[in-house]
Structure 1
Amino acid sequence: MGAKPVYERLTADARGDVVVFLIGMRINRFRSVRSWLPAFRAMPRMLRELSRDPESGLLHHVLLTANPRVFYVVQYWSSKEKLLEYASRTDREHRPAWAAFNRAVRVGRGAVGIWHETYEVPAGRYENLYYGMPPWGLGAAHGVVPVARRGERAADRLAAGDTA
C-alpha cells in the first residue's frame, strides 16, 4: 500500500448500520495443492470483479494472513442485501468458485478449510480511531473526518453514533 500515513486523529465517516464480512481459508495439508490452490486463487478474482463494479456494494477490503496456513479478507459492504445478492448471482465469480471449492473438498478430504462471518453492526455500536495510518478499514470504506467532529473519547464517539 503506497498511501501515506496521516498524522491527525481521525475517525470513520460511517453513518447508519455497517456490514463487515470476514472470509478466509486454512491450508490443512500443504502438499494437497490441487485442493487449496483453486480457493486461494478465486478470492482475488472475486475482489477484482467487485472492485470494478461500483454498484456491487463492496466498499473496501483488506487481505490479511494470520500465519502461513491461514489467509483471510476483511470486507466492508454497503448493505447485507448487496452482499447476499453477490453471493447468490449465477453470472458472477462467486458461484463457480463455490462449486469448484465443494468439488475440491470432496476430493481433498480435509486438505483445506474455509470460513466466513458476517456482522451487521447497528449505528451507534461501532467506534474507531486512526492516527499515523493511511486510510484503513472502516475509514477507507467510508472516508474519515477529524475526531473532534464525533467526539474526543471512544465513549463520546459511541454516544454520538446513537443520534447520527
Structure 2
Amino acid sequence: MVSRTTADAKGDVVVLLIGMRINRFWAVHLWVPVMLAMFRMLRELAKDPERGLREKVLLTASPRTYYVVQYWESKEKLYAYATAPDAFHHEVWAKLNRKERAGRLHGEVGIWHEAYVVPEGSYEAIYADMPAFGLAGAHGQVPLAARGRYAKDRFAYRSAQPAESAASVEKSA
C-alpha cells in the first residue's frame, strides 16, 4: 500500500531559490570558489538553526546551472541572515562588490536568487512513499487525510487562528 502524506506547513511559506551558472567552463578558478562559498554558507546555517533555514534541496538544472531551494522560517530571518555582518554571506557579498567596482568581473560565473513569500492557501504538496522532503522536510509531514485527498482541499486548508487573534476577531464582531 502506498503511503501518502502532505506537508504540515501553517501560515506563509518562505522559499529562496539561489544558484549559479557556469558561463565559461574553463574558468574553473572562478566558479569553484562560488560553489564552495555556497556550501560554506549552508554549513554555517546548519550549525545555527536560530538563523531560520528550515530545509534545503540541492539541484542541478543543467551541466552549467546549480541551485538550492531553501525553505525559511520567515522573510525576516532570511533578510536578517542576508544582512548580518557576522555571516559568511556578508563577507562574500562584500568581496563580490569590491571585484565588480575594480572591473575584475567578466561574466565567467552568473549568480542569481529568487525569493517568494507564499501565503497560506497558495501552496499544497503530496508525497507518495517519500521521507520528509522539500516543504515537508521544512515543516513536517502529516497523513494526506489531515489536509485532504485532492489538491483543491489542500489549497483550501487554513491553520487555526492564534487564540489572541481569534479573541480580537470575536470582540470586533
Root mean square deviation, CA, Å: 1.8
Kept in 1: contact 2:10–2:159 (CA 8 A): no
Please name the residue that 1:17 is paired with: 12
Corresponding residue of 2:149: 152
Assess if the C-alpha contact under 8 Å between 1:35 and 1:108 holds in 2: no
Which AA in structure 2 matches 1:124? G
Q: Distance in 2 between matches of 1:99 and 1:32?
A: 21
User: Would the alpha carbon gap of residues 129 and 87 (structure 1) be closer, same or farther in structure 2, given more than 3 Å must change?
Assistant: same
Normalising by structure 2, we get a TM-score of: 0.86
Superposition TM-score, scaled by structure 1 size: 0.90
Tell me, in whole angstroms, the C-alpha distance in 1 between the residues paired with 2:145 and 2:124: 13
Query: Quick check: 75-84 or 24-33, which moved more?
Result: 24-33
Contact 1:22 / 1:75 at 8 angstroms: preserved in 2?
A: yes
Residues 11 and 159 of structure 2 are in contact (CA less than 8 Å); yes or no, is this contact kept in structure 1?
no
1:107 is displaced (CA, Å) by: 2.0
1:63-112 Cα shifts (integer Å, max 9, x gaps) = 11111100000000000000000000111110111223345564240001
Q: Percent identity?
A: 57
| Counterparts of residues 1-164 of structure 1 (less than 5 Å) | 7-103=2-98, 106-161=103-158
- CA distance, structure 1, for counterparts of residue 10 and residue 134 of structure 2: 15
Q: How far off its partner does 1:135 sit?
A: 1.3
C-alpha distance in 1, partners of 2:85/2:43?
A: 17
State the Cα distance separating 1:163 from its structure 2 match: 6.2
1:101 and 1:23 mapped to 2: Cα distance?
16
Contact 1:38 1:101 in 2 (8 A): no
Q: Distance in 2 between matches of 1:96 and 1:7?
A: 47
In our comparison, the structure showing a higher alpha carbon Rg is 2
Contact 1:35/1:104 (<8 A) preserved: no
Superposed CA offset, 1:38-82 (max 9, x none): 211101111111011121100000111111100000000000000
- Structure 1 residue 162: Cα displacement: 7.2
The answer for unaligned runs of 5 or more in structure 1 is 1-5
